[in-house]
Amino acid sequence: MATSKAREDVKNDLNTLKEDLKAVSREESARLKAKAAETEARLREKAEAARERARVYYDEARTRGREYYDDAAERLDEAQRYLVERVQERPVQSTAIALGVGVVLGLLLAGRRH
């Protein structure tokens, strides 16, 4: 009878241990899920912040690029107006200069072929 009682006690102890392990497992699983959710939320926040910084940098670069383009276009227009005015003021001299530049370029390009 003593062995039967001891077996019963061992069975009870094992069942108690089994239930305790299940409870600990559920608690740990819940804790890990909460930790994963918290980590995911932080990563999303960081990703959104990085996305916003990238958007700001892109907008700044686009604005700066547009300013550079407008400035270059304005300078090119000024240079073109200046050139047209000079040609209109001195058409013979301008034609002679253009002819001279053309001859020099022609000689340079022809020299490379031989």
pLDDT digits (tens, 9 = 90+) for 34-76: 999 999 999 999 999 999 999 999 999 999 999 999 999 999 9
Q: Are 94 and 86 in contact (CB under 8 A)?
A: yes
Distances (CA, A) of 84 to 50, 63, 79, 105: 50, 32, 9, 22
Residue 3 pLDDT level (bands cut at 50, 70, 90): confident
- Reference 72, options 60, 82, 80; nearest CA is 80
Cα–Cα distance between 38 and 15 in angstroms, integer?
35
What tokens appear for 53 in the block? 């910084």
Q: Is residue 87 scored above 90 in pLDDT?
A: no
Quote the percentage of the chain above a pLDDT of 90: 71
pLDDT of 9: 87
What tokens appear for 22 in the block? 């299940």
Cα–Cα distance between 105 and 102 in angstroms, integer?
5
